Amino acid sequence: MQKDTLTKYVVLLRGINVGGKNKLPMSELKKCLEEAGFLHVLTYIASGNVILESAKSPREVKDQIEATLPKCFALDSELIKILVLTREQLKKVVDAKPQGFGEQPEIYHSDVIFLMDMDIGEVLPVFNPRSGVDAVWPGEGVVYSQRLSAERTKNRLNKIMGTRQYKSMTIRTWNTVTKLLKLMD
C-alpha cells in the first residue's frame, strides 16, 4: 500500500462496554484515535464500532490501536481484541449472507459473528444450534447466526460464551453490520 494513500477501515472492538467492564465512551475513543493520527474517525453505537481512515495497513492499524487504548483508558481486562476490515471485506460479508438472512427482523434475531485470528474450522464445532430455534452458517471469517425471536431464550448461542474460541469472536447484529457498510460509503 502506498503510504500517502488513505484507506477507509471499519474497526470492531471486542470486549468494551460490557457488564461495566472496559468502559470506553465513544466520544473519548474518537478523540483518542484522532490524537493517535487516524483521520475522519466516526464511532457508531457504544458496542465498539469505529470507521476511520489511515495510510497504514490493516495490521498496522490494529497494532497501533491495541498499543494506544491502554494509554487513553483504564482497562479492566485483556478481553479487548480488535478486528480491522476494509470496506471491500465488510461488503463481502454482507453480500455472502445466506439466502433470506436478516430479511425478517420481526421474526428472527440475526447476528454476524466475526472471527479474530482463527478460522471457521476451529469455531464451527462449538456451535450446537437447536432445531427450529436457531441456525448457523459458515462464512469467510464469520459465522452467520439467526434465532427465532419468540424462542430466543431457548437458543444455544449463549453456550459458546464459556468456550476458548469465544475470546476470539465479536458479535454484531445484522442491522449494525449493514449500517456500518452504509456509513463507509
Quote the pLDDT of residue 2. 47
Locate all alpha helices (DSSP H) within 38-126, ordered by sequence. Answer: 58-72, 87-95, 120-123
Among the listed residues 62, 52, 56, 47, the one whose alpha carbon sits nearest the alpha carbon of residue 15 = 47
49/61 Cα distance (integer angstroms):
14
Options 3.30.70.1280, 2.60.40.1180, 3.40.50.970, 3.30.365.10; CATH for 7-90 is 3.30.70.1280
Residue entry with cell 478486528: 83
Quote the pLDDT of residue 162. 81
**pTM of this prediction exceeds 0.95:** no
Quote the pLDDT of residue 49. 95
Asked if domains 7-90 and 96-173 share a fold, the reply is: yes
Give me the average pLDDT of each 10-residue run along the chain (185 residues). 79 82 88 97 92 97 94 80 96 97 94 93 87 91 92 74 87 96 95
Torsion of CA 148, 144, 11, 42, to 10 degrees: -40
Domain 96-173 has CATH 3.30.70.1260: yes
Domain boundaries, the chain: 7-90, 96-173
